[in-house]
Structure 1
Amino acid sequence: MVTYNLDRFFDLTPDLFCIAGYDGYFKKINPAVSELLGYTNQELFAKPISEFIYFEDRDITAKHRDDLKKDIPLLNYENRYVKKNGDIVWLSWTSMPVEAEQTVYAIAKNITYKKKIEDDRNRLIENLTRINNDQKQLSYVTSHDLRSPVNNLLSVFKMMNTSKIQDTETLEFIDVLRAATESLKDTLNTYVDAFSANGSLEVTVGELTLEACLKVVLHSLNALIKESNATINFEFTAFSTINFNKAYLESIFLNLITNSIKYARLNVAPVISIQTKIVKGIRQLVFTDNGVGFDMKKVKGKLFGFNQKFNDSPDSKGIGLYLVYNHVTSLGGHIALYSIPNEGATFTISFKN
Structure 2
Amino acid sequence: MPKPELMQNNFDEKLLQLLISRIGDYAIYMLDPNGYILSWNQGAKNIKGYQDEEVIGCHISIFYTTQERRENVPGNNLNDALKNNIHESQGWRVRKDGSIFWADVAITTLYDDDGFLKGFAKITRDITARKKKDDQKTLVNAELERRVKANTDKIIARERRFRELIENSYDGISLFGRYWNVLYRSRSAARISGWSNEERAGKRHDDLIHPDDLPMAKELFARVLTEPARPVMATYRTLHKQGHYIWIECLLNNLLNDPDVEAIVCNFRDVTGRILAEEQIREKNRQIGSILESITDGFIALDKNFCYTYVNHRIGEMLGVDAASLIGKCVWDVFPDAVNSSTHKAFKQAIEEQHYILNEDYYPPLGLWQENHIYPSPEGLSVFIRDITERKLAEASMQQSESNLRSVFENTDLAIVLFDMDARLQSFNNNARRLADRYFKAELKVGESAFYYCLPERVGDVKHILQKLRRRSPIVYEVSYPITAELTQWFEVRWVSVVNAQNQPVGIILTLKDITGKKQADQERDRMTADLIQRNKDLEQFTYIVSHNLRAPVANIKGLSDLLSDDMKPDDENMAALTALDTSVGNLDKVIIDLNHILQVSSQANDTLEKVSLPLLVDDVKSANSQLIQKNNVKIHCDFSEVGELTSLKSYLYSIFQNLIVNSIKYHRAGVEPVISIVSKIDHNKACLYFTDNGKGIDMQRDGLQLFGLYKRFDLSVEGKGMGLFMVKTQVERLGGKISVESGVDKGSTFKLEFPLK
TM-score by length of 2: 0.22
Which structure would you say has the larger RCO, counting Cα contacts within 8 Å and 6 or more residues apart?
1
TM-score by length of 1: 0.46
| Bigger radius of gyration | 2
